[in-house]
Structure 1
């Protein structure tokens, strides 16, 4: 073999290695169409600057559709996605099934110990972190201070459901398109049932008793659903059975809701003058309780990024998650959008940051609400499950959707509260027997 030919072969080999080293890896990220996730897609230049060899394809879906698609894909090992946006409900269940990749080997700069304990705990199984929180949330009341003042009322920081009803009545002005209260009505275990399950906790109720018997025939559930329907029928907007988080956010930003009880993450969107016509008029209060019940209607959730087991692009997926849920990303958003608009509810350092405290009048109440939620004791009753606005069993996704459809139908006037509760009790008992929880 001649020297020239050897040199040529060597050059080809080096060229092949260089091509392999610079080969682009494409990962597919499935995410929800909430504001923080949509905003992240506008910052990808920063990620590409740090990782020029990784390309990200986005699949952005409405909440109920996202849940259905990622659940089907991971359960069937479909392999469509390399990064999933999932919540506190799915993580422990899927991790125990071996469906998720551990994130314990993220770089030291990720600083796992900075994650809020309540949020980190819900994403950890047997000492392994299986998802990294993009934002965390509880729920609280957002209300129009100007309308409360006009009505001669003051919102307590710790309201009861009686206070909420009084405020909703006083702020309702349907002739001018202002509704006293906006609440989730769209059917779904993470839509109307997130709200109603938390509301039932605050009424002294629960999904199941210690024998796994459904409790929809109990006094607390009857009070929960009748109070909810009464509030929405008297003081809520038309077509509320179709409204989820995004629809109510738009209504509130347009000045059409006197009050909205929902995820704490909404606070930055309702106080952002670029998007909200009432940005300078918003007040905040803790989620309500029934007088005499020591449990508020605040839930606990984190939209988090996880990697399905079996992905062919694990290293690239981890690089993306490390970037998207890092302190660096928080600082990037702060520099472009202001500290009030960074993804909230995930890191202790954010709530210790004086700039954030100054910019976000809702920061303390958000943290207080997150810390007050207790997934191990969601009700004043003893219960056999964990989870505040959900029940952490695999069957809950189907059950929550089915019950949510009954309650949404009651809101739409297609059945009475009594009929909806009776149907919820019957279908839940049937499914729990089929799954072996009930004899």
Structure 2
């Protein structure tokens, strides 16, 4: 589904919400509406939490642990798929008054749209939990208009997963810092026959652009678009060279039309390098569906510039959990959210989601992260990427409209329907058209 259509759909639904507001009761009218009257011994509160992670990959164990210890507040998990259709389903459920008490936002852009639509509760009314103190300085990236409308609960590392056996055979070390040009050379040396040396999950596909522009600015000092930045051009040229000249990574058209299951392709040993996030652990720990006979190593995502300089990588904090502003059980939801954030979420580490709170027990998370599969990972590189890498991080906060327009243009370049010059010019021109010459977005 086109993301612009999703946004238009949400806008239309906001109108429905406005009409419905006159028919419903305010969720903030009293403490009873927040669930306090329902916390008696005979009538437990039932909360529903919507998230994008499959229940069997940690969420159900979290719910079971809480429910066992808190008979007065029971939590049910509802899974929605974290794609365009799934996010629209979540927004529709909240706007039309279906049972949603807590929900997980996976991007700032989704969270900001929900705040704008009045769907996420301002948490400043709760004073018994200091989000910045618990989660650290990176929480600033998740403030919306200076406030928290959710709690960023996880550390979210992105990395290059490596077939350690293939690297050893080729005599290549596991990098601790490298450039995209160096990754390109690795891909050439690891490519065997007609196979590829490198593949990508589409979610972090465009991260190299944001690693640059999150620091350099998406607009220049004169207010015009910076999407024609030299390093944006370099990213396009490098990746296209890998697709067309080196044939070390799939052409974009092939990847889009085939819906390539990149995790399965990597875990089968077919391709030795994969650009992905920590959710890979959800599959790599599953030897039943994804059997493998090689050890996985981990490297940071490469930088575009040759010098490290002010390089930042995507990551930081994620899984921004909000309370529905229309929920009548907000106090109960807050109690659960505090517990979840301070370590109750540890079973989520089985899917690569590490607790961000300083008060969470990281040893519990690490145990959940690798379980009994420690022999199947290069533990030194795992620990480095997950815990020890001190490279500054950013959280993507670019407006969805700009994300859409730039992808529409760079896809034309990768599909050979327009030149590199035309592509960077079109991205910049469309950015200027959307936001005007004084944009700072």
Q: Taking structure 2 as the reference length, what is the TM-score of the superposition? A: 0.71
Within the candidate set 307, 323, 344, 1:328 is matched to 344
Q: Secondary structure at the match of 2:161?
A: strand
1:257 and 1:413 map into 2 onto residues whose CA distance is: 24
Query: Aligned pair 1:390/2:392, yes or no?
Result: no
Query: Aligned pair 1:437/2:436, yes or no?
Result: no
Query: Aligned pair 1:89/2:108, yes or no?
Result: yes
Distance 1:276 1:347, change over 3 A: farther
| Superimposed CA distance per residue, residues 351-388 of structure 1 (whole angstroms, 9 cap, x where no aligned partner) | 8649839966423322344x52254xxxxxxxxxxxx5
1:285 and 1:425 map into 2 onto residues whose CA distance is: 32
The worse-fitting range, judged by mean Cα deviation, of 309-318 and 84-93 is 84-93
Within the candidate set 219, 225, 234, 1:214 is matched to 225
Aligned-pair distance for 1:215?
1.9
Query: Aligned pair 1:241/2:237, yes or no?
Result: no
- Report what 2:210 is aligned to: 198
Counterparts of 1:139-178 in structure 2, within 5 Å, are: 139-175=158-194, 178=195
- Report what 1:287 is aligned to: 301
Distance 1:60 1:355, change over 3 A: closer
Query: Aligned pair 1:423/2:426, yes or no?
Result: yes
2:104 and 2:49 map into 1 onto residues whose CA distance is: 8
Distance 1:155 1:113, change over 3 A: same
Distance 1:292 1:353, change over 3 A: same
Query: Aligned pair 1:183/2:200, yes or no?
Result: yes
Q: Secondary structure at the match of 1:61?
A: coil
What count of residue pairs does the alignment treat as equivalent? 385
Query: Aligned pair 1:347/2:360, yes or no?
Result: no
The 8 Å contact of residues 119 and 302 in structure 1, kept in 2 or not, is answered as no
The 8 Å contact of residues 180 and 302 in structure 2, kept in 1 or not, is answered as yes
1:214 and 1:169 map into 2 onto residues whose CA distance is: 34
Q: Secondary structure at the match of 1:130?
A: coil
- Report what 1:313 is aligned to: 329
- Give ranges in structure 1 of 5+ residues lacking alignment: 1-16, 376-387
Query: Aligned pair 1:303/2:333, yes or no?
Result: no
| Superimposed CA distance per residue, residues 384-422 of structure 1 (whole angstroms, 9 cap, x where no aligned partner) | xxxx5333xxxx112212322332343344444444333
Return the index of the structure with the highest Cα Rg: 1
The 8 Å contact of residues 43 and 72 in structure 2, kept in 1 or not, is answered as no
Aligned-pair distance for 1:52?
5.5
Aligned-pair distance for 1:248?
2.7
Within the candidate set 151, 156, 174, 1:132 is matched to 151
Aligned-pair distance for 1:40?
0.8
2:280 and 2:419 map into 1 onto residues whose CA distance is: 31
2:405 and 2:119 map into 1 onto residues whose CA distance is: 25
| Superimposed CA distance per residue, residues 244-276 of structure 1 (whole angstroms, 9 cap, x where no aligned partner) | 9x9433322222321122324435643664554
Aligned-pair distance for 1:72?
6.7
Query: Aligned pair 1:251/2:265, yes or no?
Result: yes
2:333 and 2:38 map into 1 onto residues whose CA distance is: 22
The 8 Å contact of residues 278 and 351 in structure 2, kept in 1 or not, is answered as no
- Report what 1:225 is aligned to: 236
The 8 Å contact of residues 142 and 285 in structure 1, kept in 2 or not, is answered as yes
Q: Secondary structure at the match of 2:314?
A: coil
Query: Aligned pair 1:356/2:358, yes or no?
Result: no
Counterparts of 1:90-109 in structure 2, within 5 Å, are: 90=109, 91=111, 99-103=119-123
Q: Secondary structure at the match of 2:171?
A: coil
The 8 Å contact of residues 288 and 296 in structure 1, kept in 2 or not, is answered as no
Within the candidate set 364, 387, 390, 1:367 is matched to 387
1:346 and 1:87 map into 2 onto residues whose CA distance is: 15
Distance 1:251 1:46, change over 3 A: same
Supply the RMSD in Å over aligned alpha carbons: 4.0
- Report what 1:5 is aligned to: none
Distance 1:46 1:352, change over 3 A: closer
